[in-house]
Structure 1
Amino acid sequence: MTNYLSAEQILDADDLAIEDVPVPEWGGTVRVKGMSGTERDRFEAGFVGNDMKQLPKDKALEYYRARIAAACLVDQAGNKMFRSVGEIKRLSDKNAEALQRVVDVANRLSGLSQEDVEELTGNSDAAPSGSSTSGSPDTSDTPSPSSSAGSARASSRSGKQSNG
């Protein structure tokens, strides 16, 4: 027999995945938290201009990786670590391989597939090579795209963090 959930059960579920990611280039480990539905909506809205059309490719890729990382990097208490445009710009200057490692986890935990990323960035030929959009969306509410949601989501629920 199927066990159907109530609205209360759904709303009370602790379903945002968290994963610890070793980043030796930065001298330690960071904590990445998947986006909520609202955070992902806000992140994706950053790829649309005031005219409701997709931003040009160069603007969509500007600070792309740093925006995703900033949207999903949290401290031990689960608070966003990077909130300002200046911090995102500084984060974009960090080692690309290290930043990509964080982005890959953020995308997976947030359910963003490669196809989602390509649609957002207007880059269907290759993976994103820049950063994010031109505007300065509130990164405390703005998360990331790229990998696909996978089996790691179930094993990395907030109570079960993995170390790599």
Structure 2
Amino acid sequence: MALSRDAILGVNDLQVEKVFVPEWGDEVIIRGLTGEELDAYQGSRRQIRNAGTAQAEVVFIQDNARAGLLVKCIVDENGDRIFTDQDTGLLGMKNGRVLDRLYDVATRLSGMSDEEAEELEGNSEPPTASGGSTSSSPEMSSTALSPSYSDASAPES
């Protein structure tokens, strides 16, 4: 029997993972983005240059990309965001190595492909307006996930 609308909408399918950060002396909780949040984040990181011309290309805005995702994904024990979008610059001033490790977890939990994450990180050539890309990237490692938390009270971006 197939799932009903109410059954699908009633499932809390957001994944969370606790990550120990030795540099900070404790762990943080990373929550994957909802589909709506993921689309908004990815859209905020893309810009079309030379739109309407044969030279049109999609450019990925890398400024604080890691911190921009992490302010949306770091939550407390109740699943509530602990940062607002306005905290992006402040979080971006933290250790880049730490942010990179946490970003990898956030992209995996949010369902971003390795290729998308690498493009946002600037590790591959951006796709053309037709959507092609030259990136080939290794699988991200996977770890066991903790139970999901509700994000009903997460601040809007």
Report the Cα offset of residue 7 of structure 1.
1.1
Distance in 2, Cα, partners of 1:41 & 1:62? 18
Gaps of 5+ in 1: 127-145, 160-164
Cα separation, partners in 2 of 1:27 and 1:120, compared to 1, 3 Å: closer
Counterpart amino acid of 2:72? A
Aligned residue in 2 for 1:158:
148
Task: Please state how far the C-alpha of 1:148 moved relative to its aligned partner.
Answer: 6.2
1:95 aligns with: 95
The structure with higher relative contact order (CA 8 Å, sep 6+) is 1
Amino acid at match of 1:81: I
Equivalent of 1:23 in 18, 21, 24: 21
Question: Quick one: which of 37, 40, 48 aligns to 1:39?
Answer: 37
TM-score by length of 1: 0.68
Within 2, Cα distance between the matches of 1:50 and 1:115? Answer: 18
Matched length: 134
More strand by share: 2
Other-structure match for 1:79: 80
Residue 82 of structure 2 aligns to a residue in which SS?
A: coil
3-state DSSP class of the match of 2:72?
A: helix
Alignment of 1:70-149 (within 5 A): 70-85=71-86, 87-120=87-120, 123-125=123-125
Larger radius of gyration: 2
Identity of aligned residues (%): 37
Higher helix share: 1
